[in-house]
Structure 1
Amino acid sequence: MTTTAEHRLTQEEFDRLARGAGGTQAVLSLRAAQLSKHLLLISRLLEHWPGDTAERDAVVRALEAARAADAGAFGEVIGAPLVGAWSSIVNRAVLHGGAGWQDVAHLNGLAVVACAAAGVDADAAVPVRDGVVSIPGVGAATVASTTARLVARAGRLTVAADGTTLDERSEDWSPVRHLTGDAAGRRIRLGLDDLDPFRHGHHAPPATRLPVPELERWQALFEQAWRLLAELLPVRAAELQAGLRTLVPLAQTDERAARSATIRHAFGVFGLTRPPSPAEFAVTLVHEFQHSKLSAMLDLMTLTDPADKRRFFAPWRADPRPIAGLLQGVYAFVGVAETWQALRADARFGPHAQLQFAEARLQVDRGLSAVEESGALTPHGESLAAGLRRATDAMLSEPVPAAVALEAEQRLERTRQRWLAAQAS
């Protein structure tokens, strides 16, 4: 079924990514590689189809028809971030004998959604989980039946179940809602997906359907965060425009702390609780997309020695990290430090941003030094570390008030002491 390509970053793209940013073209190259990865994972699932092979063959025909009719629309649907989450989760389940028809047949819905996007008519049986039909990337429909079909006709999607037809105008149809931003000539529209059945895996449970007032709070914060990025960090904003597609709201299990996390095989999506401020939202967007970028690079190259089992001090946490995890943290915190550096220009966040920048650049420097000295980097890893060192040294050369620099050093030392105490216990 699949037609994939061999993907390599150009030297210029790699060099730009190695400095911690990357730019639009590098992000688009990573997205293209992810689409091929999704197609390969789907091919593996088709080989282990847990049901009627005629149904499987019909799904393949629908996918091929959608791609032939509109390759761009097909790529947007099948290359979507939560397709990466679903395909990796279910492939792991297949390996352990734990995948059933409902899990694999999520592909049926994806195929019909791709057909609708491409203007191709199609229909397929789709799973019903606890009375809900998932329409991937589009929404969900509540049905009073254990069976249902998703139908695409003239680009319009409907759900047929127990003699009833539902569409986007129905009360029992819940759409995926979006966050939008428009500032400094840059527009962005992100899905805020609180419906997809495969949106979990972020070390905190996904939130259930957000009430409208809560959705409005998210939108207000996002608008302000996007303005900060578009005006103060246009290169980062361009990257996010090119590669970030979806946010998954997480349940707020601790009111004292905001949380965020990126799934290794889901490029362009991450989970988060609602950030406490526009500045924190802006930093979180950059932070987590850094993880997405590095994870996508890891699909194309090996950066660290997989046989290295040592654990290292990560200056942003008290528990020890393997070399691969430490490198992930360094790459993410280069973006964090750069964002706080830029946010110093906004009078609302200036003093706070100054301290956060001073601390984050020290964290990067300490963590990167451990990476450089580890002896566990591949040639590609060494090139990446060299690029990160140039970016880090540039930030270290930026003057900050002496009192701020001292407080940042003291904060880092307190973190190191907590790490040492944890090792001794």
Structure 2
Amino acid sequence: MLHLRHTRDVELVPFRQFVLKLHSRCDLACDHCYVYEHEDTQWRGRPMASPRRVLEQTAVRIAEHAAAHRLSSVRVVLHGGEPLLAGPETIGFAAEQLRAALPDSCGLDLRIHTNGVLLDRRFCDLFLEHDIRVGISLDGDRAANDLHRRYADGRSSHSKVLSAVALLQEPGYRRLFAGILCTIDVRNDPLAVYEALTALDPPGIDFLLPHATWVHPPLRPDGPESTPYAAWLGAIYERWEAEGRPVPVRTFDSVLRTLHGLSSLTENLGLEPADLVVIETDGTLEQADSLRTAFDGAAGTGFNVFDHDLDRAARHPGMIDRQLGLAGLCATCRSCPVVSSCGGGLYAHRYREENGFENPSVFCGDLKEFITMVAARGEGTDPARTEPTAGTGLTDRQWDELAAGHGGTEAVRVLVGQQLEIDRTLLAHVATSASAPSASTSASWRLLTEFDVQVPDACDQVMSHPYNRTWATGRWQRGDGGDSGDGLAESAAAVALRAGSEAEVRVPLRGGVLRLPGLGRLLVDGDAAFVSVRSCEDGFTATTDSGATVRIAWAQQDPRWQPTRTVAADADWTVRLEDTDPCRDAHGHPVSARLGPEEFAAWERDLTSAWALIKRILPGYAEGIAAGLSVITPLQRPSGRRDISSSARSAFGAVGIARPATADTLALLLVHEFQHVKLGAVLDLDDLIDGNDARAFHAPWREDPRPLEGLLQGTYAHVAVTEYWRARWQDLRGRHGFGTAADRAQDEFARCLADTAQALGSLSASGSLTGLGGRFVAGMEATLRPWLDELDSDDGDSARPVASHVR
């Protein structure tokens, strides 16, 4: 039944996506299900749960395939039926086998897709252990969801699915949530569906057309020539655009990308070759599940994991037919003006009995109308580049901004969001890892999870405080050796005070000091070990176990209360000067004591001037600093030494600086250190270098050799230092002409340019950059390259040391 074209010489496309069926039955009876409610009956003869020998052999085959084709990563989706019916033991075993078998050079993106009705903490804890992300099927509000997704006896599944989503939104589990999949029914109000789904704050939404063919066409209430699916999607698209695209929608992002010549994010659209194979519970290798809607056995290949390697399946004519791009489409599709975006639609939707898949999609009119509408609305605009780069969550454009040394507001906000998720995960591990947590730990964690639902903004502000990560990292590294209740209770109290909650929080003191992260510290007289903190109308109270109460009013000065003070450099940037947090000693240099009024005023003055300089001469860095640098920790200024500054991987969003003699130098230190903050966040998301390379490399700005990551960090910082001196040189020359200050800035520019180019050469020649690492280094090189001409035109001798590599 397949229509094949020129398949003999087609280059094999390796599989990068694997759907692994753990269970072949389901606990719901959704009447739009393509497995049980359409043409296919193959599921009836397969084992309900995948046996261990199938899972073991599947892991071996995927690992073989990844090694043979040198794949840097693969995605495996645990599926069904309903995969949770397989139980935690089988799911855990599958995850263990997959990770153990894959070569070290290949990453694993492991996911599970579920209807959610069985999801509970037991499963979520398992998914945390094995790093399994969770996708949920949900068709909208209760009325929309119950149109199809019911139990066999007619009961609604909606409330249980909402409970599953609420569980995934808890702080300890939030990083597991992969998104929501919604199947379209044009009888549902599109905006009601959209509002119901976006109200759940998912990390992404995917709208799917219902599976249909020319044999069994989709529902069209207004007649066979109508295009209700285009109208349905169009209504949501307009709202989505009007709201500033508040959540990624894979369908919309794919259309926008393909309209501008970029790849699609889904097999349903675009001309990219299919790279997916399904492994059934008996080890059978099959094509995409959607083919089950065409005819009985349409997805079959005749291969299995025991007798055949995956290359055999990849060469199956049915697989190849879905990899031919434009040549694989019928004449009608090949001549269509939107074919590069539509791609002929989903392969299964093209089926007719008389000529197989040699047809346009049964949704052809809808797809053409919707894509044309999106193209018309987007005409003349700069296309959004929305595909995340590898596992970073950054778009191509944002990644390239950061690689160039800069990073605008949106790029840095992505890093901020990713780091918040790391903070949440780390805090959850600390809170739940103790074999016998204290009553304080349990109570504080329970309160934090409640706050996360009730007052999420206040919770995010406290959890993202840089030195909460410092505390949690230290506690995590010590393992089960200490009670975690102190930092958790301090955080819970800080959230309660920020939100004005009536909750009372019992907090241990640190040698007579109440730490309230991000807010400040309270000095408590006597030898009390605990205080109970409660918000009041104009401040808060702290009561010891003996009954002594301190009342603090926010608007009044009290020597016992030392708030974390802020500096509003201008309307764009407000930063906290953190000189109170006991956990701030993370920067490798002694921290300053509490600043007196005169020293704080000096910081305020210099920060305002430094920020004005950065905005004027380095606008490419200013946006990122404003979006991501929230805390400056004053360091002690050593006598007779150069200026010192530092950042810490365990304190994202903070830098430590000893206030220098001039605001110009402070500007340089801020730009320099925030480079380390940004790159540290990028390195938390994906590998740029081979971590097994233990060599030391010469860095031109240091006497001691550096490990490869240290060289990368220093080079990235020096891109900014180089640009600072370039901008300073041009600024001084433009305002004052040639002279001592401009000449010094030019000399510093030339020296830094030579040093940075030399370091980039060492990175490029190391042989230990990953694919993303090579792209990142190339971005830095592209930034440096045009600066050579500027020096050539002014003083050619200055540029000669760097020309050989960067050019």
**Normalising by structure 1, what TM-score?**
0.88
Q: Give, as a single letter, the amino acid of the residue that structure 2 aligns with 1:30.
A: L
More displaced stretch, 134-143 vs 344-353:
344-353
For the residues of structure 1 that align with 2:693 and 2:628, how far apart are their CA atoms?
Answer: 31
Out of 391, 402, 407, the residue aligned to residue 795 of structure 2 is 402
The residue number in structure 2 matching 1:131 is 512
For the residues of structure 2 that align with 1:155 and 1:343, how far apart are their CA atoms?
Answer: 47
Out of 534, 537, 556, the residue aligned to residue 151 of structure 1 is 534
For the residues of structure 2 that align with 1:69 and 1:397, how far apart are their CA atoms?
Answer: 57
For the residues of structure 2 that align with 1:257 and 1:180, how far apart are their CA atoms?
Answer: 27
Contact 2:726 / 2:745 at 8 angstroms: preserved in 1? yes
More displaced stretch, 84-93 vs 339-348:
339-348
Closer/same/farther in 2, CA of residues 194 and 140 from structure 1, 3 Å limit: same
For the residues of structure 1 that align with 2:472 and 2:745, how far apart are their CA atoms?
Answer: 39
1:312 aligns with 2:697: yes
Contact 2:407 / 2:623 at 8 angstroms: preserved in 1? no
The residue number in structure 2 matching 1:356 is 748
Closer/same/farther in 2, CA of residues 166 and 397 from structure 1, 3 Å limit: farther
1:56 aligns with 2:441: yes
Contact 1:142 / 1:173 at 8 angstroms: preserved in 2? yes
**Residue 51 of structure 1: CA displacement?**
7.2
Closer/same/farther in 2, CA of residues 191 and 50 from structure 1, 3 Å limit: farther
3-state SS in 2 of match to 1:105:
helix
Out of 504, 507, 521, the residue aligned to residue 140 of structure 1 is 521
Contact 2:438 / 2:485 at 8 angstroms: preserved in 1? no
**Residue 43 of structure 1: CA displacement?**
1.1
Out of 767, 771, 784, the residue aligned to residue 392 of structure 1 is 784
The residue number in structure 1 matching 2:218 is none
Q: Deviations over 1:267-305 (max 9, x none)?
A: 110111002211111111111111011000111100111
The residue number in structure 2 matching 1:85 is 470
Q: Deviations over 1:6-35 (max 9, x none)?
A: 662222211111111111111000000111
More displaced stretch, 292-301 vs 335-344:
335-344
Q: Give, as a single letter, the amino acid of the residue that structure 2 aligns with 1:44.
A: H
Which structure has the larger Rg over C-alpha atoms? 2
Contact 2:722 / 2:753 at 8 angstroms: preserved in 1? yes
The residue number in structure 2 matching 1:191 is 576
By percentage of residues, which structure has more helix?
1
Contact 2:445 / 2:488 at 8 angstroms: preserved in 1? no
The residue number in structure 1 matching 2:762 is 370
**Residue 89 of structure 1: CA displacement?**
2.1
For the residues of structure 2 that align with 1:341 and 1:87, how far apart are their CA atoms?
Answer: 40
The residue number in structure 2 matching 1:281 is 666
**Residue 154 of structure 1: CA displacement?**
5.5
**Normalising by structure 2, what TM-score?**
0.48
3-state SS in 2 of match to 1:108:
helix
**Residue 331 of structure 1: CA displacement?**
0.6
Superposition CA RMSD, Å: 2.4
Out of 575, 592, 598, the residue aligned to residue 213 of structure 1 is 598
Q: Deviations over 1:324-356 (max 9, x none)?
A: 100001111111111222222045853332222
3-state SS in 1 of match to 2:543:
strand
The residue number in structure 2 matching 1:40 is 425
**Residue 75 of structure 1: CA displacement?**
1.3
Contact 2:711 / 2:759 at 8 angstroms: preserved in 1? yes
**Runs of 4+ residues deviating >6 angstroms:** none
For the residues of structure 2 that align with 1:216 and 1:154, how far apart are their CA atoms?
Answer: 30
Contact 1:138 / 1:176 at 8 angstroms: preserved in 2? yes
Q: Give, as a single letter, the amino acid of the residue that structure 2 aligns with 1:394.
A: P
Contact 1:113 / 1:157 at 8 angstroms: preserved in 2? no
For the residues of structure 1 that align with 2:476 and 2:709, how far apart are their CA atoms?
Answer: 23
Contact 2:586 / 2:651 at 8 angstroms: preserved in 1? no
Closer/same/farther in 2, CA of residues 79 and 213 from structure 1, 3 Å limit: same
- Greater relative contact order, per chain length (Cα 8 Å cut-off, separation 6+): 1
Gaps (5+ residues) in structure 2?
Answer: 1-170, 179-391, 802-807
Q: Give, as a single letter, the amino acid of the residue that structure 2 aligns with 1:356.
A: E
More displaced stretch, 237-246 vs 70-79:
70-79
For the residues of structure 2 that align with 1:355 and 1:131, how far apart are their CA atoms?
Answer: 52
For the residues of structure 1 that align with 2:466 and 2:789, how far apart are their CA atoms?
Answer: 37
Q: Give, as a single letter, the amino acid of the residue that structure 2 aligns with 1:3.
A: Y
For the residues of structure 1 that align with 2:742 and 2:566, how far apart are their CA atoms?
Answer: 30
Closer/same/farther in 2, CA of residues 265 and 356 from structure 1, 3 Å limit: same
The residue number in structure 1 matching 2:95 is none
More displaced stretch, 3-12 vs 320-329:
3-12
The residue number in structure 1 matching 2:13 is none
**Residue 234 of structure 1: CA displacement?**
2.1
Out of 538, 543, 547, the residue aligned to residue 160 of structure 1 is 543
Q: Deviations over 1:372-391 (max 9, x none)?
A: 00001111111101111101
Q: Give, as a single letter, the amino acid of the residue that structure 2 aligns with 1:372.
A: S
3-state SS in 2 of match to 1:151:
strand
